[in-house]
A and B are shown apart, each in its own frame.
Chain A
Amino acid sequence: MVSQRTGLLKYGFVGPALVVLIVLNIFPLLYNVVLSFTDAELVGGGARYVGGSNYSRVFSTAEFVEAIRTTAVFVAAAVSIELCLGFCLALALQRGFRGKSAILTVLLIPMMLSPAVMALFWHQILSGDYGILNHILAAVGLGQPEWLTAPGLKLISILMIDVWMWTPFMMLIALAGLNSIPQYIYEAAEIDRAGAWRIFRRITLPMCAPLLALAVLLRTTDALKQFDLVMAVTGPNDAATQTLSALLFQKVFGDGKTGLGSAYACVLLVIVIALASVFTRYIDFIQRKQGKTQQ
């Protein structure tokens, strides 16, 4: 009796979440795959099966290669700068001092704001004519670059905003990693006459590594999908800043080619999954090396 009732109950609990997952995640994903093999368009019905022709178009256009390059540059620069800055900030904040919690809170604000708000906000700062950054640069006698319109600077501006937004995230995770290292190990190392650099290199860094790798994984998969900042700063159809996501947005909603856009989406998905599996394997490897999974 009881087991039958708990059996029903268990489906009752899991059911709603499962339905939401299927409707909002699984179905769109599968539908997207189906669409990518058709010539569906945003307006007007009648999608026909076109085989792999969308995919051959994806891989033969210069736009795609350019978008991959832009995305790769953006991801590599953003993640590495955020990692370095975040880790340095974490090291600086690791020791307790007066006002530490206030500083932490302030540092976390960028992460909590919506990217659209953030981009508008930075628009005001970076604007070539009335932006406060150029005012400051002028005041100290430096040039006044067109941050938002000069082709070479647009991507850098987006990068700057992204770094500003996500460095606190890296810092938080790095801080968690640093705090998980017991104090006694540092003391033992100090007694063993290890210098600051040696302690950092041999103890701090290796013991933080698994968490940092996780942070890099999360940030990389997220940065690969970079869209909102591009959309807000330059729009989706700017060659200098067109990331993969911006490109696929442009294909679907700009050009109205839903089928082709779906093919882009599938390619992006495969790239993200491939990179993520490399990272998870790396994290696994580190943990195994440290003997955590053996027990």
Chain B
Amino acid sequence: MQKPFLAIDRVTKKFGSVTALRSVSLNVGPDELLVVLGPTGAGKTTLLRTIAGLEAPQEGTIQMAGEDVTSRTPAERDVALVFQDFSLYPNWTVRRNLEFPLRAPGRRLSEDEIAQRVSWAAELLKIAGLLDRRSQRLSGGEMQRVAIGRAIVRRPRVFLMDEPLTNLDAKLREALRVELVCLRRELKTPMVYVTHDQVEALSMGDRIVVLGEGRVLQTGSPEDIFRRPVSPVVARQLGQPAINLLKVERSGGAWVADNGVAVAAAGEGGGNSMILGVRPEDIQPRGGEREARVTLVEDMGPTKILLVDWGGCNVHIVAPATADIHQGDTIHPQVDPERIILWPEQTI
């Protein structure tokens, strides 16, 4: 791997008696988009604010380009942070919002240069027509574009994004997500992108860090995290509908669940009591031995999500939209044995 641009080493941050980050370490390469994924309260925002310099960690160090910046101010770190709630300067026009970071002391830019950068950013984010509008008269999507614009005009050393798309409606979110990825490729600036949205994490991230209760649970490529999660907690973070988790015992060459259903053939090695995870799209509705009842069918358009009562446990199955399956039907689910994930029982 390339020498990391941003290196966070065993950072711990406490707020009174609450520990938000527990010895978090991670690296971001010079041209990498690192997604930090985790549920609410996992410490994602705290991590970002600590990188930005808005919070000082109690322990650990933060390095940027090989320099220790742990005790430096946000201004000295030269990072750009886009907040979830847009945080534009109220009562100012879009243009003034974009110019503000360019007029910072010590940044001697000519008026021409400022105007040029503002129009460049406005062009890129398609807000050129809004430059003279006051910030509080913008829609949510426009506000977030301006906020991103305010971050990119500066050409910072790192981009930090705190769930920038969460407060937008679904359609806009998708459009802006694509734009962000393209934008970052163009700017070639490292980015740390915090989200709780698995679609954003999987589609945008070069690598993903999964955070839970202030700890790094797993770091890896989207493929790694999705296919080889280190624990059921990580596995549950990704996938819609969520992964099926079953307690299984080895019995007669098969993994058998509590209810006596033989889920899949058991290979060699591993313990006898395991947690078995299988994603809903890795179960076929037909071809298995044991029967199951379909209790609910959710038609999602291209697919159908089935909630199935399989000998007493509820299992989600993703079936093609063309499958002729209805509520109350009896099916015979079959698990793809290549796709199952096993963890020792105590990891739950």
Q: Which positions in A face B, CB cutoff 8 Å?
A: 184-185, 187-195, 198, 202-203, 206-207, 289-291
Chain B: interface secondary structure? loop
On whether the beta carbons of A193 and B107 are closer than 8 Å, the reply is: yes
Nearest-neighbour CB distance to chain B for A177, whole angstroms, equals: 14
On whether the beta carbons of B75 and A291 are closer than 8 Å, the reply is: no
Nearest opposing residue in chain B for A289, CB measure: B91
On whether the beta carbons of A191 and B100 are closer than 8 Å, the reply is: no
Any A CB within 8 A of the CB of B187: no
Any A CB within 8 A of the CB of B83: yes
Assuming the contacts A198-B104, A198-B105, A291-B136, asked whether A191 and B89 have C-beta atoms less than 8 A apart, the reply is no
Bound CA–CA A290/B93 (angstroms)? 10
List of A residues within 8 angstroms of B101 by Cβ: 192-194
9 closest residue pairs by CB, A with B: A192-B101, A193-B104, A193-B75, A184-B87, A290-B91, A188-B87, A191-B81, A190-B74, A191-B74
Bound CA–CA A187/B45 (angstroms)? 14
Contact pick for A191, options B52, B85, B107, CB 8 Å: B52
Bound CA–CA A291/B136 (angstroms)? 9
List of B residues within 8 angstroms of A187 by Cβ: 54, 74, 81, 83, 87
Contact pick for B75, options A190, A203, A207, A289, CB 8 Å: A190
Nearest-neighbour CB distance to chain A for B109, whole angstroms, equals: 12
On whether the beta carbons of A184 and B81 are closer than 8 Å, the reply is: no
Any A CB within 8 A of the CB of B250: no
Chain B interface size, under 10 / 10 to 19 / 20 to 34 / 35 or more: 20 to 34
Max count, chain A CB within 10 A of own CB: residue among B73, B85, B87:
B87
List of B residues within 8 angstroms of A195 by Cβ: 75, 104-105
List of A residues within 8 angstroms of B88 by Cβ: 188
List of B residues within 8 angstroms of A189 by Cβ: 89, 100
Bound CA–CA A187/B80 (angstroms)? 11
Any A CB within 8 A of the CB of B286: no
Any A CB within 8 A of the CB of B307: no
List of A residues within 8 angstroms of B54 by Cβ: 187, 190-191
Nearest-neighbour CB distance to chain B for A277, whole angstroms, equals: 25
List of B residues within 8 angstroms of A184 by Cβ: 83, 85, 87
On whether the beta carbons of B89 and A193 are closer than 8 Å, the reply is: no
Chain A: interface secondary structure? helix
A-B residue pair count with CB separations less than 8 angstroms: 64
Nearest opposing residue in chain B for A202, CB measure: B100
Q: Mark B124-156, 1 if CB is under 8 A from A, else 0.
A: 000000000010110000000000001000100
Any A CB within 8 A of the CB of B79: yes
Bound CA–CA A222/B2 (angstroms)? 69
Bound CA–CA A207/B92 (angstroms)? 11
On whether the beta carbons of B100 and A194 are closer than 8 Å, the reply is: yes
Contact pick for A192, options B91, B106, B137, B150, CB 8 Å: B150
Bound CA–CA A194/B85 (angstroms)? 20
Nearest-neighbour CB distance to chain B for A157, whole angstroms, equals: 43
List of A residues within 8 angstroms of B74 by Cβ: 187, 190-191, 193
Bound CA–CA A182/B79 (angstroms)? 21
Bound CA–CA A289/B96 (angstroms)? 14
List of A residues within 8 angstroms of B52 by Cβ: 191
Bound CA–CA A105/B80 (angstroms)? 41
Bound CA–CA A204/B247 (angstroms)? 58
With A192-B104, A290-B91 given, can you name 16 additional A-B contacts, CB distance below 8 Å?
A184-B83, A184-B87, A187-B83, A187-B87, A188-B83, A190-B73, A193-B75, A193-B78, A193-B104, A194-B75, A194-B100, A194-B101, A202-B100, A203-B89, A290-B90, A291-B91
List of A residues within 8 angstroms of B80 by Cβ: 191
Sample of 23 A–B contacts (CB below 8 Å): A184-B85, A185-B89, A187-B81, A188-B81, A188-B83, A188-B87, A188-B89, A190-B54, A190-B73, A190-B74, A191-B52, A191-B75, A191-B80, A191-B81, A192-B100, A192-B154, A193-B74, A193-B105, A193-B107, A194-B100, A198-B105, A291-B136, A291-B137
Bound CA–CA A193/B108 (angstroms)? 13
List of A residues within 8 angstroms of B137 by Cβ: 291
Nearest-neighbour CB distance to chain A for B86, whole angstroms, equals: 9
Bound CA–CA A189/B173 (angstroms)? 26
Max count, chain B CB within 10 A of own CB: residue among A185, A188, A191:
A191
Nearest-neighbour CB distance to chain B for A295, whole angstroms, equals: 8
Nearest-neighbour CB distance to chain B for A38, whole angstroms, equals: 53
List of B residues within 8 angstroms of A198 by Cβ: 104-105
Query: Which chain B residues (48-87) contact chain A, with CB distance < 8 Å?
Result: 52, 54, 73-75, 78-81, 83, 85, 87
Nearest-neighbour CB distance to chain A for B132, whole angstroms, equals: 13
Contact pick for A185, options B79, B87, B150, CB 8 Å: B87
Nearest-neighbour CB distance to chain A for B37, whole angstroms, equals: 23
